[in-house]
Amino acid sequence: MTQVKYKRILLKLSGEILGGEKGSGIESSIINALVSQIHEVTKLGVEVGVVIGGGNIFRGVQAGSQGLDRVTGDYMGMLATAINALALQDRLEADGVHTRVLSAIEMKEISEPYIKRRATRHLEKGRVVIFACGTGNPFFTTDTAASLRAMEVGAEILLKGTKVDAVYDSDPKKNPNAKPFGKITFMDVLQKGLKVMDAAAISLCMENNLPIVVFNVGVEGNLKRIVCGDSVGTLVEG
């Protein structure tokens, strides 16, 4: 059997990834490809938690420009993550993967309430646990929720699945000479203002010594390579 480096992981996915090239809505080919990669690592015995954003549907930070109160906007964004969580759950179950959606905002008809011990038990039983509605609080991003949930359930690493293959010293779309980092420290990320995750999420991981890997989740097999110990994307550590 293939040896794995990480037994329990937390995968953070942005909502925009589900939207494909448009960045909005849910693209069936994208979600099916994600399901394939997640299923692949569960077959290796890896316990998988997923935090998913809602930016393909609504982002709380857009609220002000649309005349909405920021708190209201953030709650709307949380509901968007629940939609994405249900979509991911549906495709995983159809692929034969047992799942549970745990929500920070109680919605008993469609999900279980988030309770740390319950989440941990589901992971131990081999179920993919999808965490919906962020932390359940306005002003906190799903990046921060991912850092928090990863530490609460004892994940060994936080995997930030993105559309880019690494963290760069500048925007590769604007600067053709931008250089990717193989490894970088939490402090360098904060001091250089690199767009890995928001500052609260980075600080939380730094304080608790939880490594982060930023990688292109759109490349087939990347998730498996990481859990097996291959060097993929950018490793952010203390």
pLDDT in tens, 147-172: 999 999 999 999 999 998 999 998 88
pLDDT at residue 138 in the model? 95
Tokens, residue 94: 């159809």
In angstroms, the CA 180 to CA 211 distance is: 18
| Beta carbons within 8 Å of 203's beta carbon, 6+ residues apart | 186, 190
Q: By residue range, what is the domain housing residue 81? A: 8-237
Residue 3 is assigned to a structural domain of this protein? no
pLDDT at residue 65 in the model? 73
Number of domains present in the structure of the chain? 1
Residue 14 is assigned to a structural domain of this protein? yes
In angstroms, the CA 49 to CA 11 distance is: 6
Q: What is the pLDDT of residues 187-209, one digit of tens each?
A: 999 999 998 899 999 999 999 99
In angstroms, the CA 219 to CA 163 distance is: 9
Residue 38 CB neighbours (<10 A) = 27
Please count the CA atoms within 13 angstroms of the CA of 125 that sit on its side-chain side.
12
pTM reported for the whole predicted model: 0.94
- Strand ordering across the sheet containing 47-52: 112-113, 99-103, 128-132, 47-52, 8-13, 157-162, 212-216, 234-237, 183-185
Divide the 238 residues of the chain into consecutive groups of 10 and give the mean pLDDT of each group. 91 94 91 97 98 90 78 94 98 98 97 98 98 96 97 98 92 88 95 91 96 96 97 95
Residue 166 is assigned to a structural domain of this protein? yes
The answer to whether 46 touches 9, Cβ cutoff 8 Å, is yes
Per the listing, tokens 């569960």 go with: 42
> Greatest CA span in the chain, whole angstroms?
55
Question: Which CATH number fits the domain that encloses residue 100?
Answer: 3.40.1160.10
Residue 165 is assigned to a structural domain of this protein? yes
Residue 2 is assigned to a structural domain of this protein? no
In angstroms, the CA 8 to CA 46 distance is: 6
Residue 1 is assigned to a structural domain of this protein? no
Residue 64 is assigned to a structural domain of this protein? yes
Residue 146 is assigned to a structural domain of this protein? yes
